[in-house]
Amino acid sequence: MYFDGSIPGVYQQYLVPILFRPYARDLAARLMDRGPARVLETAAGTGAVTRELAAVLPATTQIVATDLSGSMIELAAASTNGRPVDFRQADALDLPFPDGSFDAVVCQFGAMFFPDKPRAFAEARRVLRPGGVLLFNVWDHIAANEFAATAADTVAALHPEDPPDFLARVPYGYHDHAAITRDVSAGGFEPPRIESVDARSRARSAADVATAFCQGTPIRTEIDNRPGRTIAEATDAVTSAIGKRFGDGPVEGAMRAHVVTAVR
């Protein structure tokens, strides 16, 4: 399991505002334009998209939010804005819902973690009604995401003999349009539309960025599993690198994601 222990809490406090909120709003706006009656969110994490959906979709729209991690979905359920949402622990590769039961399936920055992506997309297609939409986003290459690239390079330099590579390998490793198209098509959809969306990542300080990446992602496990550096030392090193590149005080950097739309 990627997101256990202390990671979910740090993820919610730091990563959501620094990285995820702008893209959550983008997905929610795209879905709002389609007017779905029943929406399923997979890999909902701590509810960044869930909260945006709850804020913009009509009160009559049913929202079901799921995640494989019980810890993540518990945090999501505890941070709603009061609107009823059906939160469930569920595997995106084996959804516990009948065929054709949703108008839309939405997933923010979760597809990269699916061990069998075509199967996950096939499950999304199965639970969609005819004409329903699968809408998800993934990060572009890590080089197009400045905070992530700086954090990854800094942590790798601390362990040159065995550099941690989680960030580049997993969350920022599923960006090739051809590969995405192949997997979505293997899930039974027609070739999807893929759009690149640029945004700005903002944080109150370099330390917040460092805490987000070193302690709010599974790179923490890679750091902990290597001798010679503590998580505090790694966080300090990334804080220094972010401050040197982006300045003191509030910081901001470029980020880019791909938004994928596939219609059943």
> Is the whole-model pTM more than 0.85?
yes
Read off the pLDDT band of 227 (50, 70, 90).
confident
What pLDDT is attached to residue 31? 96
How far, CA to CA in Å, does 10 sit from each of 126, 198, 201, 208, 235? 34, 24, 17, 10, 13
Read off the pLDDT band of 113 (50, 70, 90).
very high
What pLDDT is attached to residue 7? 78
Residue 98 has pLDDT above 70, yes or no: yes
173-211 confidence digits (pLDDT tens)? 999 999 999 999 999 999 999 999 999 999 999 999 999
Residue 82 has pLDDT above 90, yes or no: no
pLDDT > 90 in the chain, percent: 88
What pLDDT is attached to residue 228? 84
24-48 confidence digits (pLDDT tens)? 999 999 999 899 999 999 999 999 9
What pLDDT is attached to residue 107? 98
Residue 160 has pLDDT above 80, yes or no: yes
Closest CA to 39 of 137, 133, 136, 138: 133
| Mean pLDDT estimate for the chain | 95
What pLDDT is attached to residue 2? 59
What pLDDT is attached to residue 26? 97
What pLDDT is attached to residue 5? 64
Read off the pLDDT band of 3 (50, 70, 90).
low
Long-range contacts of 148-154 (CB under 8 A, 24+ apart): 148/172, 148/213, 148/255, 150/238, 150/241, 150/242, 150/245, 150/246, 150/253, 151/209, 151/210, 151/213, 151/214, 151/219, 151/238, 151/241, 151/242, 152/213, 152/219, 153/241, 154/234, 154/237, 154/238, 154/241
Residue 78 has pLDDT above 60, yes or no: yes
What homologous superfamily is domain 7-263 in, according to CATH? Vaccinia Virus protein VP39 (3.40.50.150)
Distance of CA 27 to the CA centre of its chain: 12
How far, CA to CA in Å, does 47 sit from each of 12, 25, 56, 94, 105? 9, 12, 14, 20, 15
Residue 126 has pLDDT above 60, yes or no: yes
- pLDDT higher for 255 or 79? 255
